Amino acid sequence: MINKIVQTMAEAMAGIGDGAVVLLGGFGSIGQPNALIDGLIEHGAKDLTVVSNNAGVGRISLARLLELGRVRKIICSYPRSVDPVVFEELYRAGKIELEIVPQGTLAERMRAAGAGIPAFFTATAVGTKLAAGKERRDIGGRQYLLEEALAGDVALIEAWEADRWGNLTYRSSARNFNPVMAMAATLTIAQAQHIVDLGALDPERIATPGIYVNRVLHVPYGEPTVT
Amino acid sequence: MNETAAKVDAKCRPMTRAEMAARVARDIPEGWYVNLGIGAPLQVADYVPPEREVIFHSENGVLGMGPAPAAEEINRWLINAGKQYVTLREGGAYMHHADSFGLIRGGHLDLCVLGAFQVAENGDIANWSISDNDSAPAVGGAMDLAVGARRVWVLMEHQTKSGESRLVRRCTYPLTALGVVKRVYTNLAVLDVTPDGFAVRDMVDGLTLDALQKVTDAPVRPPMR
């Protein structure tokens, strides 16, 4: 019997190594797998490359992971927030490497990794300083940049409901990067607010089929309190 | 700088932020799919009457975004790209980030309204970073929206706080995209970006083309007929 549901955080985090590329779901704090990030902090992996749309708020969750010095490099589109103090301190001190990627290119690079596409062309960022070092090509009279796929060793994501096969649904805009990251990592770990019986999820509503998911941890934390 | 920092003609009253948003809203027809950039452009939605069905997209995966909810009706999983709580209209849909930017990049949006630091007479836009030495640059979805939407309109003050023109011959701030802006709405005028540069569509009451030119770095032309 397939059962991807794990009972403890230690089981969820097992095998995440130093130097891993870790994809973190969420847009701001919505859909961000905060319990799993706390678990990763406890687990202790370091020298990580983190891919996340944002770079943390306050001193909790992702910001705490950064503050503890576990992250060598962050790849994100928007490292600002209402309170990005930890990231800004590390960045100014030269203690973290930053790769800025336009938000749509960031999403598509991961989708491409999950879909077996090594690179793609996009008009985004042509003629800007984010085009530095990228191959540029004229296709049909328009300029495009070559962007390479971005795969993760691990994805930590948040779902609304999950079953033991790892099928997932999401809640409203908390879907965001989560299904894309689930596709793009070798080891995808989901925290879910609700665990339901196999067969209880309407197949029309499953946004991430279980083929992309390796482990599920039940984390019924209630409502997010910050955005 | 002295010339571009000139005061606007005393006989005219520049539009307020709310009036600027209402002015943009007037030009958005029923049926358009529209993304409003974070900041001032978001206010445009407040001036599209509900009976005119315009479908707003937020790049974090919301199509059919409605106004802010009453405090007791907040859905804490439903935010816009500015990370504010919003609502979903009847007929609205959610999607993941790759699909959300797929509809942007794929040219499915009729319009994106962006804020900007500068717009050049060739349609270049600078709206994400004010310096090449930015402490921590943050681009978000600006570059994807600027190249992906079928039309890009910019909503911005005509001048900076220190009186420099934001409508320029060539952008001096880091670029967001090349040659994409079709129209600019400022607190003084609405201008189309044409192959011949900025052409005035309309101006606030009491302003003359000469007075507008005095506060505009790039040449401005009368309306093309």
Consecutive sets of 10 residues in chain A, 227 residues long: mean pLDDT of each? 98 98 97 98 98 94 97 96 90 95 98 98 97 98 98 98 98 98 98 98 98 98 89
Q: Which among B53, B59, B90, B164 is annotated as catalytic? A: B59
Residue A224 lies in a domain: no
Q: What is the mean pLDDT of residues B122-126?
A: 98
Residue A223 lies in a domain: no
Kindly report the CATH number assigned to the domain that includes residue A72: 3.40.1080.10
Q: What is the pLDDT of residue A82?
A: 83
Asked if the model's pLDDT at residue B4 lies above 50, the reply is no
DSSP A208: B
Kindly report the CATH number assigned to the domain that includes residue B121: 3.40.1080.10
Q: Average model confidence (pLDDT) for chain B?
A: 93
Q: B125 to chain A: nearest residue by CA? A: A128
Kindly determine whether residue B138 and residue A78, on different chains, have CB atoms separated by under 8 Å.
Answer: yes
Q: Measure in Å the smallest separation between the Cα of A20 and chain B Cα atoms.
A: 23
Q: What is the pLDDT of residue A227?
A: 81
Residue whose token pair is 């770079």: A55
Alpha-carbon distance A102 to A75, whole Å?
10
Q: B104 to chain A: nearest residue by CA? A: A104
CB B32 within 8 A of CB B54: yes
Residues of B in contact with A170 (CB under 8 A): 94
Kindly determine whether residue A179 and residue B78, on different chains, have CB atoms separated by under 8 Å.
Answer: no
Domains identified in chain A, total number: 1
A178 vs B: CB within 8 A: yes
DSSP A116: T
Alpha-carbon distance B113 to A13, whole Å?
43
Report residue B3's pLDDT band, with 50, 70 and 90 as the boundaries. very low
Kindly determine whether residue B105 and residue A225, on different chains, have CB atoms separated by under 8 Å.
Answer: no
Kindly determine whether residue A173 and residue B58, on different chains, have CB atoms separated by under 8 Å.
Answer: yes
Q: What is the pLDDT of residue B8?
A: 74
Domains identified in chain B, total number: 1
Report residue B133's pLDDT band, with 50, 70 and 90 as the boundaries. low
Q: What is the mean pLDDT of residues B118-141?
A: 88
Cβ-nearest to A173 among B94, B136, B140: B94
In sequence order, what are the residues at sequence separation of 6 or more whose Cβ sits closer than 8 angstroms to the Cβ of residue A120? Answer: A108, A112, A146, A147, A149
Cβ-nearest to B59 among A103, A108, A125: A103
Asked if the model's pLDDT at residue B140 lies above 70, the reply is yes
Q: What is the pLDDT of residue A2?
A: 98
Residue B10 lies in a domain: no
Q: What is the pLDDT of residue B132?
A: 67
- pTM of the predicted protein model: 0.96
Task: Count residue pairs from A and B with Cβ separation < 8 A.
Answer: 145
Q: What is the mean pLDDT of residues B103-125?
A: 98
Alpha-carbon distance A15 to A33, whole Å?
18
Cβ-nearest to A176 among B60, B139, B144: B60
Alpha-carbon distance B81 to A80, whole Å?
13
Q: What is the pLDDT of residue B9?
A: 66
Grouping H, G, I as helix, E, B as strand and the rest as coil, residue A178 is helix
Which of A51, A77, A173, A227 is the best substitution to test chain B (most B C-beta atoms within 10 A)?
A: A173
Kindly determine whether residue B175 and residue A128, on different chains, have CB atoms separated by under 8 Å.
Answer: yes
Q: A171 to chain B: nearest residue by CA? A: B77
Least confident stretch, B1-5, B32-36, B90-94, B165-169 = B1-5
- Residue A69: CB atoms within 10 Å: 12
**Contacts with B, A 188-217, CB within 8 Å:** 207
Which structural domain range is residue A71 located in? 5-218
Which structural domain range is residue B161 located in? 17-221
A94 vs B: CB within 8 A: no
Least confident stretch, B6-20, B115-129, B168-182 = B6-20
Tokens for A154, please give them: 């691990």
Q: Is B157 annotated in the active site?
A: no
Residue A225 lies in a domain: no
Residue A226 lies in a domain: no
Asked if the model's pLDDT at residue B43 lies above 60, the reply is yes
Residue B2 lies in a domain: no
Residues of A in contact with B35 (CB under 8 A): none
Residue B3 lies in a domain: no
Number of H helices, E strands in chain A: 6, 12
* CA nearest neighbour of B175 among A52, A132, A77, A99: A132
Q: B132 to chain A: nearest residue by CA? A: A129
Q: If you count them, how many residues does chain B have?
A: 225
- Whether the complex's predicted ipTM surpasses the cut of 0.90: yes
Which of B143, B145, B176, B178 is the best substitution to test chain A (most A C-beta atoms within 10 A)?
A: B143
Asked if the model's pLDDT at residue B52 lies above 70, the reply is yes
B49 vs A: CB within 8 A: no
Q: What is the mean pLDDT of residues B63-81?
A: 96
